[in-house]
Structure 1
Amino acid sequence: MSSSQEKNLHFIPRFILRKFKSEKQPPAAPALSLAPRRGQRHKQRTRGRDFLVDKVDLERCILTQRPVSTEFALVNMYRDPGFDDNPYHLEDKLTELESKASKVLHRACDELSRGSTLELGRSEVDILRKFLFLMKYRNAGMFDRYNHDHVDSYDSDDREQMLQYMESKGFSKPRDVWFHNLLQLLNVEMDAKKSWIGTLETRMYPYDAMMFELHLRYSFMAFCTPQSSEEEFLLTQNAYSIFEGPSTITLDPRTVKIEPVVYTEYHNFAPISPKLIIILRSHLLLPDNALQGDWDWLRAAVRFQHLHPGKAGSILQDLPVSNCNISYTRPPSNTNSRFHRDDRFHFTCFQLSPAHVATINNLLLEEAYATSSIVYHSPNSLKRSIENYFSSELVGMKNVLDNPLDKRRLYLAKLEKILCDLGGSARCKFQQFEIPSPRIHMSLHVAVETASQLLQEGPDGSLPYIYLLLRPDADHDAFWNDVHQASLMILLRTKLDRGLSTSTLTDEEKFSVRHERHTFFVTFPIERQWLYLKICQNLNKFDSDDFTIQTKDLVLSGAEDKYAKFIAYFPDKRDYLACLMYLRAMT
């Protein structure tokens, strides 16, 4: 595909990003002069302005700005190659829905900021609820779940059901299921009788149709704003898919992967602007007098699914919100439904205390560890939010594994650096995960220590200069992945050498094995070989009985640096120079 065919497709719309735009903007572009038609005055037209947003770049670990046009967007995210007439038909339909939702939300921001009551018709509420669900459903995380070319790569907990569905409907790629589901959700008519429930169950993947129904029918929508003028809401990359509620999790000791076994969504969040957020609150938290039927048994059933039912409540139970007032239109006598398309919904804006705002931002920050970006409006508010998050002692938050490459541990270290850049000095209080993590090998420990010192040599924790010469597009995640892979190369070398030391092979045969190992290693990316050599040179700088004790200063420069530069400047000589680099560095 040529670059001219690629499009940045947003999973958080531009109209929301614009509400977070930075107060520091470059000068606006001059108006364009248009040649007047006969009998008309000279006209001027202003270019559509691409505002900048302030963001935390978690990949480069810096505070920076990014144009609205490129933030929270993926290339060709909604491009449906199976739709030959218009591969971007999903984007067109999403744009149409966003346009309708933006009109409602612009009015909400305007009227609620003045303290007025927001009155919406049923069709407007339905548009907003569908929009909010699709914000959750088309998030980058959900896209990653489905973004596979082959069903063997699909590893979510509903794998068995997905396989059966794909086989019955003739889908070959999980991604095509997602495209099809999106199309059905966008096309469905939200009628007052709610016949759309049965329609979706037969037209799309049933589990996701059920997710849509639960999202729309079993929670109510509340508009909220910070009580304090100094407080603001953050906009994380996955904000619209974050929920508040208990999770019973498990850890696979083989893969060190944490998976939820059971979870309950008491609250979902939709930041609209720094001063306005929509909170979807579960009906499970409504008082009994606001519900029809006996809900006590359902609340109990939900709690008892968890490992600790007594702790399966909501940390936002005391959130000062309630359902909106609804003016029902008398339905026609020939229908059993009490809902009508002319029903009116009256929303007020609830003010949240600094403690509640902090809790919501804490939840957003807690789940941003797997993302690359956090958008904010005020630096002071961001600083305060990170400090609140660091000092929070909420059980279950900031749990890390005893592994220096644990993603959340690395993320918290990045936030510490960002807080320092903002003028703060607080350190993060994290909790070691209760389930013991697997033991790490000396190779990984030395690799992490070596890599950490290499990072400290650069300005503001930037990646090592030579590493970037070899891999210019790398970010911190790529760097740490290469460090991990280099440590595995050393582990393989160590185990192979140990095996050869007790082997009955002849010296010639042992030499042949080592030569094959070398031939194998030089096929790896050159930046990984460079890191491998760095780590090798520092293995003897740690105590052999307790490798967590460093006995000598680490060596951070060597012959491999010179050859790495040659390789960067003369890539056509890579194979020859890589062999020389390996031989000179290891002798």
Structure 2
Amino acid sequence: MQPNVQYQHYIPQFILRNFSHPYKPSKGKGSQKQGGSRLGKGMRKGDKVLNIVDLTSDEPQLREAPVSRCRKNIEEELSKLESRTAEILQKVKKAHEKGEPGISLNRSERNRLRKFLFIMKYRGPGFYGKYLSGDRYSYQWEDKNLLISYMAEKGFGNPRDVWLHNLRAILDLEMDAEGEWMTKLPEVMFPPDAAMFTYHVQSSYTAFCTPSEEDDEFILTDQGPRVSYLCFHEFGPISARLIIVLRSFVLPEALKDANHKIRDAREMYLEVAATQFPNPENVKSILADLPAAKAMNSYTRVTNGRLEVAPGETGKARSSDKFCFRFWPIKRRHVDIVNSIFLDNILHCKSIVFHSAPSFTRTLETYMTTGSYGFKKVGVGESRARISRQTGLKKLPVC
């Protein structure tokens, strides 16, 4: 099935499996065959399948698609990173399902998770389309002159080769606790993209969020988070009930802001970033009140509402450091905002994955009826389509 093929290229299978359910063939005529043969759509009873909104046609359709077992043409290094990250996220998911308040990760696990989240974005449709746009002369992005010079200096034949080289450089990167990797990385890959990776790692913190309402769920799309120097949040769904949120360091954080120097510096960064946009005084995050905070670590402690170096520690980062991440329960309003952000960015998506129909129905109804936050811009840029995505979503028989 075509939507599944597209999904397998951009979204790791272990994430898709977290959104899956066992396939149950319909009881209609001809739905069952003898000898354990395949049942409808090439799927067996009990196979892991996904509820998908197929966006490849003018009118979106609801389908079930199998979670493919095929690795396709993913590089071996990428497969290894996915496998190691799957172990980390499976540990996180199990702790959450057991009702534990949080999870402890070491520095290596935390860094691997951040690397994985960037790779998901960098191998996604945005960068994939950017670097596979043809030769150096048909490349029309703002860094064209820099890229052409870099290709000439390093002997690359086309932008795609640079992209693959960058992927390998990040996959091979050892992120030492002292941060020397930030100096070394621009020496082994296209410097603007090295700076992008460094910004991704350094400009936000990781939080795990879960809906406080039992029947609320997150959805999943193949539109990876876009790079923006005023990107307050990026999202990485782990399952329908658990999501990674990368929250920008320019947003208020109670413990850090207790130090007035840190607070003043943060506010200065926010003001500078806001000046890139019209009406900078109105640049605000619609998730500014999201109840999430930075993970606690093994080398600091909280005393009288302030962070200080823990006894026996120097305050310097070490490879043995531990980080305690809470599972932050978030209200329905915040879940709706996150899902609406996904739905508002489906113009170039091939499909949407959801876990349960009742939750997805409520998500769609909320998105279609809310008048807040400037949502429902999905129709912009669809002038050649016979029907807009927004109109198509209204017709989905999910109730």
TMscore range, shorter length: 0.7 to 0.9
- The 3-state SS of whatever aligns with 2:352 is strand
Determine whether 1:372 maps to 2:350.
yes
Determine whether 1:13 maps to 2:12.
yes
Determine whether 1:95 maps to 2:95.
no
Moved more, 94-103 or 272-281: 94-103
- The 3-state SS of whatever aligns with 1:381 is helix
Identity of aligned residues (%): 36
Q: 1:168 to 1:409 in 2, by over 3 A?
A: farther
- The 3-state SS of whatever aligns with 1:163 is helix
Number of the residue aligned with 1:357: 335
Number of the residue aligned with 1:320: 291
Deviations along 1:236-276, one digit per CA (max 9) or x if unpaired, are 011x3257xxxxxxxxxxxxxxxxxx761000000000000
Number of the residue aligned with 1:473: none
Determine whether 1:271 maps to 2:271.
no
Report deviation, 1:156: 2.0
Query: Which one has the bigger helix percentage?
Result: 1
- Measure the CA separation in 1 of the matches of 2:340 and 2:249: 23
CA contact (8 A) 1:25 1:52 kept: no
CA contact (8 A) 1:400 1:406 kept: no
**Which of residues 90, 99, 104 in structure 1 aligns to 2:88?**
104
Number of the residue aligned with 1:114: 98
Number of the residue aligned with 1:347: 325
- Measure the CA separation in 1 of the matches of 2:332 and 2:386: 26
- Measure the CA separation in 1 of the matches of 2:104 and 2:122: 27
Report matched runs for 1:38-437 at 5 Å. Answer: 51-60=48-57, 61-69=60-68, 76=73, 78=74, 91-116=75-100, 117-238=102-223, 240-242=224-226, 264-287=230-253, 288-289=257-258, 292=262, 294-328=265-299, 338-399=316-377, 405=383, 410-418=388-396, 421-423=397-399
Q: 1:396 to 1:151 in 2, by over 3 A?
A: farther
Report deviation, 1:409: 6.5
Report deviation, 1:313: 0.9
CA contact (8 A) 2:236 2:244 kept: yes
Report deviation, 1:143: 0.6
Structure showing greater Rg: 1
Query: Matched residue pairs, number?
Result: 363
CA contact (8 A) 2:207 2:328 kept: yes
Report deviation, 1:52: 1.0
- Measure the CA separation in 1 of the matches of 2:199 and 2:214: 34
Deviations along 1:313-359, one digit per CA (max 9) or x if unpaired, are 1000000000111002999x9xx980001111011100111110000
CA contact (8 A) 2:18 2:239 kept: yes
Where do 5+ consecutive residues of structure 2 fail to align? 26-31, 37-43, 301-308
CA contact (8 A) 1:264 1:302 kept: yes
Q: 1:25 to 1:343 in 2, by over 3 A?
A: farther
- Measure the CA separation in 1 of the matches of 2:107 and 2:152: 38
- Measure the CA separation in 1 of the matches of 2:104 and 2:358: 34
Q: 1:280 to 1:50 in 2, by over 3 A?
A: same
Report deviation, 1:99: 1.1
Where do 5+ consecutive residues of structure 1 fail to align? 1-5, 32-46, 79-90, 244-261, 424-587
- Measure the CA separation in 2 of the matches of 1:380 and 1:52: 17
CA contact (8 A) 2:7 2:222 kept: no
Q: TM-score, normalised by structure 1?
A: 0.57
